[in-house]
């Protein structure tokens, strides 16, 4: 895959464990790829600003990366997951899209004697967010494979969904379905308005079993990516 929207640059400040919170069992997601996939989805939606939802948010890395690097393109962000531990980690990371949250994180890094490079990353992120209001962020516990669970979410204004599918070795589905990805996609398509875009990413090809033809599909490194436009 050729990058079309995320320029070649250093994304170290929003990745690599520099500033964002991490924990065992919560795999990260490349920040540059997150921005690229978000922008491709936004182009398909056809709006300058969109609402972004990650229904399998884990540590919230995708949402936090996009909110830090493309805040002017967001109207809101929504993080949901079945795991309360994941939501707590995502909450801490989404706070880093605000000046108070980053200031507190910087002070924490200094107090813990973090490497100077990590503190410098926090300073650069502070300079980045200082002039732009953070998009409103909300979190909720929900199982994306369960229609009744998703029905309880506030999806007003959500135009783009981005999800990195569970890895199996580090995370796993709550659903017992033999095709949980297909089940989740069906729930998402029913819950979203026509014209919304669902982006699914996985490193395990078996997760794509049973999926319908995608609006866009490509491979980047070890990741398989599918984009679906609802109502299409």
**Contacts within 8 Å (CB) and 24+ apart, 17-20:** 18/117, 18/118, 18/121, 18/122, 19/96, 19/102, 19/105, 19/109, 19/118, 19/121, 19/122, 19/125, 20/59, 20/61, 20/64, 20/93, 20/96
Residue 197 sits in a domain whose CATH number is: 3.40.50.150
Mean pLDDT for the chain overall: 92
Residue 146 has pLDDT above 60, yes or no: yes
Q: What is the pLDDT of residues 10-37, one digit of tens each?
A: 899 998 789 999 988 888 899 999 999 9
Q: What is the pLDDT of residues 98-141, one digit of tens each?
A: 999 999 999 999 999 999 999 999 999 999 999 888 999 999 99
Tell me, yes or no, whether 141 lies in a domain.
yes
Tell me, yes or no, whether 58 lies in a domain.
yes
> From residue 41, how far is each of 34, 62, 162, 181 by CA, in Å?
11, 14, 9, 19
Tell me, yes or no, whether 31 lies in a domain.
yes
Tell me, yes or no, whether 6 lies in a domain.
no
Tell me, yes or no, whether 168 lies in a domain.
yes
Tell me, yes or no, whether 119 lies in a domain.
yes
Q: What is the pLDDT of residues 212-229, one digit of tens each?
A: 999 999 999 999 999 999
Q: Give residue 80's domain range.
A: 12-229
Number of domains in the chain: 1
Please state the pTM of the whole predicted model.
Answer: 0.93
Tell me, yes or no, whether 117 lies in a domain.
yes
């Amino acid at each position: 895959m050729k990058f079309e929207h995320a320029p070649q640059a250093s994304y170290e400040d929003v990745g690599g464990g520099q500033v964002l919170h991490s924990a065992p069992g919560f795999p990260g997601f490349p920040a540059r790829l997150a921005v690229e996939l978000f922008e491709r989805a936004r182009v398909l939606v056809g709006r300058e600003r969109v609402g972004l939802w990650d229904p399998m948010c884990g540590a919230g890395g995708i949402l936090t990366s996009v909110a830090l690097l493309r805040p002017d393109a967001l109207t809101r962000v929504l993080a949901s997951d079945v795991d309360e531990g994941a939501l707590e980690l995502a909450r801490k990371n989404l706070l880093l899209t605000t000046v108070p949250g980053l200031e507190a994180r910087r002070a924490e890094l200094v107090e813990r004697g973090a490497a100077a490079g990590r503190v410098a990353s926090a300073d650069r992120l502070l300079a980045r967010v200082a002039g732009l209001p953070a998009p409103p962020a909300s979190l909720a516990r929900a199982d994306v494979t369960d229609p009744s669970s998703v029905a309880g979410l506030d999806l007003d204004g959500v135009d783009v969904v981005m999800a990195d599918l569970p890895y199996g070795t580090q995370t796993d589905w709550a659903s017992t379905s033999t095709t949980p990805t297909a089940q989740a996609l069906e729930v998402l398509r029913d819950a979203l308005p026509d014209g919304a875009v669902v982006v699914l990413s996985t490193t395990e090809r078996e997760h794509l079993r049973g999926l319908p033809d995608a609006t866009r599909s490509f491979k980047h490194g070890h990741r398989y990516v599918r984009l679906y436009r609802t109502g299409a």
